């Protein structure tokens, strides 16, 4: 935890004699950024803080704050593993984790609801940035009576240390799946997404069955700290990139990032932006190492006068992107499956304008392990 040197967005937590406070606890605190409020999760062990008198305060850094004075994390043994953890818990024997908090991430004008969900796994389901957890919602599978629901995969939106920097939680970025009847225009609850609604409706203390972690394609390559990383996300596909960026810019870890991180995020409008304050703070603190471009389809126009999608932003910066790829940059895509055809078409068109063969270039990027795609 950083102390009062980062008090711009700090929150004060009382350190009384209450036994519930003296244990390692998770508290929720509302932190305001401009016209938005965040509920942050702070985890700390008061015994190690030498709390002095019952009325004194410890000032802790908000998990949403990115600060140039990086945050200490533990346990550092999580840095020592050479291989990522994989499938520690399988669907037949999932781990029972506990919901810590559920916070709405989007503003009132966002179409739909997206939530930031913090899950306590007690350090028993470790993961690396870019991996996914499986979630098994409660109840039985309507297609297989007597059997549990199928596993739903969610990209993890935190670093291996979690939002409380203690290696005991994981965060998910979940959009509530709802279905609207095309004739009446009304929501049909019977066709709502079972798992996303279970997660978004859950309360602190609720139990959740998780599997995993899974996935290697989106792992952040750390062998070269000078490498450049281009991240392209639509909606909740920003989840793994939040983990990467916290590792690069927020946490005091063995990985000392010295390259460029460039995030493209496509959402419907300003109210739909996810973790925008966090990313904007990196932009302020690390202007030479971080770039952040937003594509707001309902608010911005592309050069042809149509809606602005991430592929339009890619085209806008195509010369720089292709140069970075030629120099060995990694490029990542995460979000809904439907994002890829438009992006691939744009990249192919740009390559042809540059006199390059896109199929050959793509084949080379894959061979060099520079191309990372996770869509759903």
Which residues are part of the catalytic machinery?
154-155, 334, 374, 376
Contact between residue 337 and residue 330 where contact means Cβ atoms under 8 Å apart: no
- 3-class SS of residue 207: strand
Q: Residue 193 — φ and ψ, nearest 5°? A: -65, 125
Identify which of 77, 231, 99, 228 has the alpha carbon closest to the alpha carbon of residue 166.
Answer: 77
Identify which of 256, 255, 273 has the alpha carbon closest to the alpha carbon of residue 264.
Answer: 273
| Rounded CA separation 54/15 (Å) | 6
Cα–Cα distances in Å, from 311 out to 62, 142, 279, 336? 33, 38, 20, 14
Query: The tokens of 216 are what?
Result: 């290697």
Contact between residue 250 and residue 164 where contact means Cβ atoms under 8 Å apart: no
Q: Which helix (H) or strand (E) holds 278?
A: helix 276-285
| Rounded CA separation 79/84 (Å) | 10
- Residue 26 contacts by C-beta under 8 Å, 6 or more apart in sequence? 41, 42, 43, 100, 101, 118, 120, 164, 169
Strand partners, 294: 265
Query: The tokens of 207 are what?
Result: 């139990």
Strand partners, 267: 296
Strand partners, 293: 264
Based on its alpha-carbon atoms, the radius of gyration of the chain, rounded to whole angstroms, reads: 21
């Amino acid at each position: 935890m950083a102390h009062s040197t980062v008090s711009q967005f700090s929150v004060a937590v009382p350190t009384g004699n209450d036994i519930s406070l003296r244990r390692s606890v998770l508290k929720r605190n509302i932190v305001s950024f401009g016209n938005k409020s965040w509920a942050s999760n702070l985890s700390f062990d008061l015994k190690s803080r030498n709390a002095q008198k019952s009325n004194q305060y410890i000032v802790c850094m908000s998990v949403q704050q990115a600060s140039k004075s990086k945050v200490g994390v533990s346990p550092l043994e999580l840095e020592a593993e050479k291989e990522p953890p994989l499938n520690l818990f399988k669907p037949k024997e999932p781990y029972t984790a506990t919901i810590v908090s559920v916070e709405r991430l989007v503003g009132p004008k966002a179409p739909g609801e997206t939530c930031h969900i913090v899950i306590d796994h007690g350090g028993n389901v470790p993961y690396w940035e870019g991996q996914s957890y499986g979630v098994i919602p409660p109840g039985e599978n309507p297609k297989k009576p007597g059997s549990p629901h199928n596993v739903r995969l969610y990209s993890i939106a935190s670093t291996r240390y979690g939002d409380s920097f203690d290696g005991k939680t994981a965060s998910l970025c979940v959009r509530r799946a709802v279905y609207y009847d095309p004739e009446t225009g009304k929501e049909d609850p019977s066709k709502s997404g079972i798992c996303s609604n279970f997660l978004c409706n859950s309360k602190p203390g609720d139990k959740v069955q998780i599997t995993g972690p899974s996935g290697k394609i989106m792992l952040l390559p750390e062998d070269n700290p000078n490498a450049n990383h281009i991240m392209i996300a639509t909606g909740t596909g920003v989840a793994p990139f939040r983990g990467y960026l916290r590792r690069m810019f927020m946490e005091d870890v063995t990985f000392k990032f010295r390259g460029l991180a460039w995030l493209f995020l496509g959402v419907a409008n300003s109210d739909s932006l996810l973790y925008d304050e966090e990313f904007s703070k990196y932009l302020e603190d690390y202007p030479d190492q971080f770039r952040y471009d937003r594509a707001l389809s309902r608010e911005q126009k592309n050069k042809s006068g149509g809606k602005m999608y991430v592929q339009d932003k890619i085209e806008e910066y195509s010369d720089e992107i292709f140069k970075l790829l030629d120099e060995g940059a990694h490029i990542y895509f995460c979000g809904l499956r439907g994002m890829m055809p438009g992006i691939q078409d744009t990249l192919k068109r740009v390559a042809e304008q540059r006199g390059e063969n896109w199929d050959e270039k793509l084949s080379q990027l894959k061979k060099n392990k520079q191309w990372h795609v996770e869509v759903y």
